[in-house]
Structure 1
């Protein structure tokens, strides 16, 4: 990133990572107390699913509005306000004594979470585009670490601390940790100079990958929301105590953290398409095997496998959306909103299926969602890279400006010093109207010919 020091980049990455950690900790804390809230409200699975619907509904309402605000002021301004809202509105949830009291509070909390989700993902894309190496998975790993910390802490204090006091403490701690660090965020327009979007320049070919990314986000977030809301209830049905019911979400968060913690290194070595497809296949097969058996251990294994499958999916959906050509705020908002549509329909769908059969049967939808989420993402990533390779091949075959083959370098270097000097002088002119150089040189971005080999462009974060 031009004009931004390495120290500021590290501070921005640490700041947005802290926001991810706080967001995960709030959700992890809430997930472990869901069974107690359900018992306190004394309602069935179907009505409770509609009650949980309030969180997703509030998020869905807030996301497009937040995206519009970010297009004017940027995620650097929006994220601190959204973090304060998410941390404060969680406090009164534990005091609700009926569905009529719980629904509006959960709806307001959803507004805070949705605004925070869009803003922190847009900021993460900005930070990633400022770096020359993959960092997006590490940032998202902090969400998993926060979720794991919230789940473990919630499981440990479930038998001794009331829901209201627990949620109040979690919200206040989130403010203490996040607010001092969010002042180091980057403006969204500060991106790397000369960065080339993954998708080709033609507008019709831009839209299709974004649609695929939105579809993948819908399926992935529906699965993640179902696990957050129903994993503790499913674990309780297998016979574990209320204090250990949060272990399902804990192993899910641990798998998500491990997958994302090593995801950047894996992407640099094997490529994003390979790790996305491998993780989704592992999640689908592991979840099917775990749900096919009975008992708490196989069920926990199923949630762990789903964590592996979802770990590498969402980070690359967001970074690919940020490079899809529609602008970071608009594209990230589109994927986030599509994901929260999944959250919107997820709780009532799982609750309705559970009402017709049971929670164990309803959760069989999760392996199917892994397939639906992984396939569009893999297709979008491969098509984006195919577009870039196709454009490069066309430029190379026509002799136009761009990254042409370098097989003739040795012939040029074997010429005499006089011919080499003459070549350098003639190549200092401008490119012709057809985009060709009069000599064997290349056209630079400024429209001039150059005889020397151009430096390879900085690898794109998705160029694998």
Structure 2
């Protein structure tokens, strides 16, 4: 269990550090919003392309080795991207940086799935909570480090993460057997999920819930991606990255992390539909409050609430894919792909809008997207689970298809 936790925390640390470092990277390279959007798009394309080849890499060298290699590469590329001032070189480096991120994202989820199978215990939601916790720590710590050691802050930060990874690896060597076997991503295995009599009639509408659930996932992950890439820059006012600006994203990540650890309990008590509807609504209103304030300290409170509201929307959305039990493997894969596209390509689009107007105005996009997701969930009749859709088999296939964080 120690090793999966370490990978998820490390991934979150780098993503959080990247969120806090974006203003410095943009300033060092002289990027306007459009140029920064190109860099973010390069990161997104690199991640998407790497994800296509990661399953084959897992079969070749195993999840554990791939997790270690991609995590080290991801850490070192953070320092590389931070130190580049040429725009073309920065875009190319961001492509490689995103490639390591995509590889690590798939590999660590695959390793966690193997650990769940071996132990017979469900802890995937807690691991995603560890990612959010790592993101909060990464944003806060890099924000503080950069105020003291700006020139060497990225190198120090990356070195610390690499050291952390090797400590985790050596501390958990006795558990190698569970995490080093190759893992295959078999969609038919998901489709073998047993049906109940109540859901056997749902097969007449095999894929018509994909547009609804995919739209919800896309809208929510546009907002989450925007918070990662643009929230710190929104409150960046001086020549140096303010620690207070980093704390805004850290507050968002803390709220998301705390509610993810309690996610199963929340959705059990109020249901998935209400989790989505109220979560999106609360997050939309809170993000609007963030945009209405210009003080980073005051923005931390609504950012915290926004993260809490958004935390369990995606797990509940993916769980609703089980309303068609016979084909939910394919449904889930398609919904996940649509949603992750929003996470990766939403921020560059926001950057283009910001260059034409202002960043504060452009960030109305995630506010509106969350409101739209809430309305879709309110009007949709597809968010009803079959009697056995909450079982471990659905959760296993949920992670197998690569749930976005």
* 3-state SS in 1 of match to 2:71: helix
Aligned to 2:148, the other structure's residue is in SS state coil
Q: 147, 153, 156: which one pairs with 1:166?
A: 156
After TM superposition, give the deviation of residue 77 of structure 1 in Å.
Answer: 7.0
More helix by share: 2
Q: Does 1:277 align with 2:267?
A: no
Residue 253 of structure 2: aligned partner: 253
Q: Which 10-residue stretch deviates more, 244-253 or 62-71?
A: 62-71
Q: Does the CA contact (< 8 Å) of 1:24 and 1:145 recur in 2?
A: yes
Deviations for 1:112-166, whole angstroms, at most 9, x for unmatched residues?
1112223334555666688888644322110111111111211221112224423
Q: CA deviation at 1:347?
A: 2.7
Aligned to 1:145: 133
State whether residues 121 and 332 of structure 1, in contact with CA within 8 Å, keep that contact through their aligned partners in structure 2.
no
- 2:167 and 2:321 map into 1 onto residues whose CA distance is 29
Secondary structure of 1:33's aligned partner: helix
Say whether the 8 Å CA contact 1:259–1:308 is kept in structure 2: yes
State the partner residue of 1:355: 355
**Which deviates more from structure 2 when the two are superposed, residues 265-274 or residues 221-230?**
265-274
Q: How does 1:398-437 map to 2 (within 5 A)?
A: none
Preserved CA contact (<8 Å) 1:87 1:174: no
Q: 1:267: how far off?
A: 2.9
- How far apart, CA to CA, are the structure 2 residues paired with 1:36 and 1:96? 11
TM-score by length of 1: 0.69
SS in structure 1 opposite 2:85? coil
In 2, the alpha carbon distance for the partners of 1:71 and 1:311 equals 32
Aligned to 2:144: 156
Stretches of structure 1 that go unaligned for 5 or more consecutive residues are 1-10, 390-456
C-alpha distance in 2, partners of 1:131/1:458?
21
- The Cα shift of 1:229 comes to 1.1
Of 29, 39, 47, 2:35 maps to 47
What's the counterpart of residue 413 of structure 1?
A: none
Q: Assess, with a 3 A threshold, how the Cα gap between structure 1 residues 327 and 127 changes in structure 2: closer, same or farther.
A: farther
Cα 1:238–1:215 shift into 2, 3 Å: farther
**Distance across 2 between alignment mates of 1:217 and 1:246:** 26
String of CA shifts for 1:74-132, please: whole Å, max 9, x gaps: 86675455434423433321221211111111101111111222333455566668888
Q: Deviations over 1:305-334 (max 9, x none)?
A: 321222112334455669965686x76654
Distance 2:280 2:163 in 1: 34
Q: 2:52 aligns with which of 37, 46, 64?
A: 64
Which deviates more, 358-367 or 71-80?
A: 71-80
Name the residue aligned to 1:287: 287
Judge conservation of contact 2:277–2:373 (CA < 8 Å) in 1: no
Question: 2: distance between equivalents of 1:131 and 1:381?
Answer: 36
- Contact kept, 8 Å, 2:235 with 2:294, in 1: the verdict is no
How many angstroms apart in 1 are the aligned matches of 2:216 and 2:232? 25
- Distance (whole Å) between structure 2 residues aligned to residue 275 and residue 340 of structure 1: 20
**What is the CA distance between 1:336 and its match in structure 2?**
4.5
| Equivalent pair of 1:125/1:319 in contact (CA under 8 Å) | no
CA distance in 2, matches of 1:74, 1:270: 39
Gaps of 5+ in 2: 396-405
1:26 counterpart = 2:30: no
Question: Is the aligned partner of 1:176 residue 2:166?
Answer: yes
* 1:254-274 C-alpha deviation (Å, 9 max, x unpaired): 111111122122233333333
**1:114–1:241: structure 2 CA closer, same or farther, 3 Å change rule?**
closer
Partner of 1:112: 100
- 2:41 and 2:348 in contact (8 A); partners too: yes
TM-score normalised by structure 2 residue count: 0.78
Distance 1:158 1:290 in 2: 24
Question: RCO higher in 1 or 2 (8 Å CA, sep ≥ 6)?
Answer: 2
Q: Is 1:16 aligned to 2:4, yes or no?
A: yes
Inter-partner Cα distance in structure 1 for 2:110 and 2:208: 21
Tell me how large the CA RMSD over aligned residues is: 3.9
1:460 counterpart = 2:388 = no
